[in-house]
């Protein structure tokens, strides 16, 4: 009797997490896999509770819609797992005759699958565990970049570019835009691709890898405001000062996550109170990771590819690995797929290398060259206010 597959999601969804699910399902179909395909409803929570959705009979039409559905179609969670749950999970895998476990997620989720892998191995239970990378923050190691990132970057680039045009046409304030990424500045940095020229913005970009200095920030803003009214600043939600304290007070903390405070509002208030300049705060929030109108084609294709590579690896009994991408060249853009030992990526948080950050408030050309092949160009604009 064929073993069954379990495929689960972990952590915050992205615009293309279901594209990876689609890729895995298509690969299983192509490989003529005959077992059941269980998806635990809401990730690890559904796994522990044996609450499964069966996916083996989805129609072609449903699969097509799934590919373009944002958020996690089968549900995800931030459900914490401990020793007791991992033991129970191995029993559940045996009970449902599951021989292959695929988990899509970031470094926290790779920790989960790595632990399932270890617990099954220790008990001599034959289960092949493979990770599928996913994160909008791009802070997952072992892969050049993770699916989800480029679509979020695409949203950020297009939206920052559109906001810059709006601000240029009505330049009555400093506009401070807050971007996702608690500890890693990859997504914040992507906003640099919205810049047509220095005059059009974004004018200042602050990543969490550089300690944030409020005095220097106010100087930077003042300098920009003196050159032009209508300044656009992009900042990470996770800015911290030189002592590692968040710039804005966290809204609340749990043992697994910190809900950061509103940095852009804090900075806008600083600009108003210290510089006497009107400022407004923009926080793209959730839509960064789920906007379907800004999905990057390259990202969606790579998400499908990662799902498919992981499913194939599982059937080939490549145990304890994560699918990944290795960049061969940026121009022309070329990547190879790789399988990375899961231990190398468990809880590993990859930050934006400092070489990509310029003067503490800007992003380097090297970063632009790296990101460019993954995203679309912003809508072309004619800004006649610049015309003499």
Which among 331, 269, 315, 366 is positioned nearest to 28, based on CA atoms? 315
Shorter beta-carbon distance to a second copy: residue 95 or 387: 387
Q: Is 137 a catalytic residue?
A: yes
Query: Between helices 149-169 and 297-315, what is the axis angle to 10°?
Result: 170
Cβ 151 vs Cβ 16: under 8 Å = yes
Q: What is the CA radius of gyration of the chain?
A: 22
Find the catalytic residue in 137, 144, 299, 362.
137
Cβ 360 vs Cβ 204: under 8 Å = no
Which among 64, 65, 46, 63 is positioned nearest to 6, based on CA atoms? 46
The span from the CA of 20 to the CA of 345, in Å, is 19
Shorter beta-carbon distance to a second copy: residue 11 or 360: 11
Cβ 227 vs Cβ 256: under 8 Å = no
Strand partners, 337: 325
**Alpha-carbon 43 to chain mean position:** 17
By CB atoms closer than 10 A (0-12, 13-18, 19+), residue 328 is exposed
Cβ 20 vs Cβ 130: under 8 Å = no
Cβ 10 vs Cβ 43: under 8 Å = yes
Binding residues (CB under 8 A) for a second copy: these are 9, 12-13, 15, 18, 39, 41-42, 53, 55, 62, 65-66, 68-78, 158-159, 162-163, 165-172, 175, 252, 259, 262, 265, 272, 280-287, 289-294, 378-385, 387
Work out how close the CB of 360 gets to a second copy at its nearest, in angstroms, rounded to a whole number. 26
Residue labelled with tokens 């803003």: 221
β strands within 214-332, DSSP E: 231-236, 252-253, 258-259, 279-283, 321-330
Shorter beta-carbon distance to a second copy: residue 62 or 348: 62
Residue labelled with tokens 């108003």: 272
Which residues are catalytic, by number? 137
């Amino acid at each position: 009797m064929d073993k069954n597959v379990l495929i689960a999601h972990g952590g915050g969804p992205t615009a293309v997490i279901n594209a990876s699910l689609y890729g895995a399902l298509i690969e299983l179909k192509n490989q003529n896999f005959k077992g059941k395909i269980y998806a635990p409803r809401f990730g690890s929570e559904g796994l522990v509770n044996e609450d499964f959705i069966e996916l083996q009979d989805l129609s072609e039409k449903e699969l097509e819609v799934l590919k373009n559905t944002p958020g996690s179609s089968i549900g995800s969670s931030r459900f914490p797992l401990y020793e007791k749950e991992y033991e129970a999970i191995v029993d559940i895998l045996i009970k449902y005759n599951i021989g292959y476990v695929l988990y899509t997620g970031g470094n926290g989720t790779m920790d989960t699958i790595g632990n399932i892998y270890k617990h099954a191995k220790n008990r001599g239970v034959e289960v092949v565990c493979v990770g599928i990378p996913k994160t909008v923050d791009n802070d997952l190691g072992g892969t050049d970049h993770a699916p989800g990132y480029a679509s979020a970057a695409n949203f950020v680039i297009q939206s920052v570019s559109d906001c810059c045009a709006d601000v240029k046409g009505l330049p009555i304030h400093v506009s401070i835009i807050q971007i996702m990424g608690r500890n890693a500045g990859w997504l914040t940095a992507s906003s640099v691709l919205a810049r047509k020229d220095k005059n059009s913005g974004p004018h200042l970009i602050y990543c969490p890898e550089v300690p944030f200095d409020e005095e220097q920030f106010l100087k930077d803003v003042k300098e920009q405001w003196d050159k032009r009214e209508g300044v656009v600043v992009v900042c990470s939600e996770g800015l911290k000062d030189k002592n590692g304290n968040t710039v804005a007070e966290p809204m609340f903390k749990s043992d697994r996550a910190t809900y950061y405070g509103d940095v852009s509002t804090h900075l806008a208030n600083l600009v108003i109170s210290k510089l006497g300049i009107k400022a407004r705060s923009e926080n793209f929030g959730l839509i960064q990771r789920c906007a379907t109108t800004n999905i990057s084609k390259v990202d969606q294709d790579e998400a499908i590819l990662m799902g498919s590579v992981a499913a194939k690896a599982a059937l080939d009994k490549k145990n304890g690995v994560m699918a990944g991408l290795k960049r061969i060249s940026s121009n022309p853009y070329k990547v190879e797929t790789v399988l990375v030992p899961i231990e190398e990526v468990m809880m590993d948080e990859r930050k934006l290398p400092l070489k990509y950050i310029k003067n503490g408030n800007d992003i380097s050309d090297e970063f632009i060259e790296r990101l460019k092949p993954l995203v679309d160009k912003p809508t072309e604009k004619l800004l006649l206010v610049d015309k003499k």
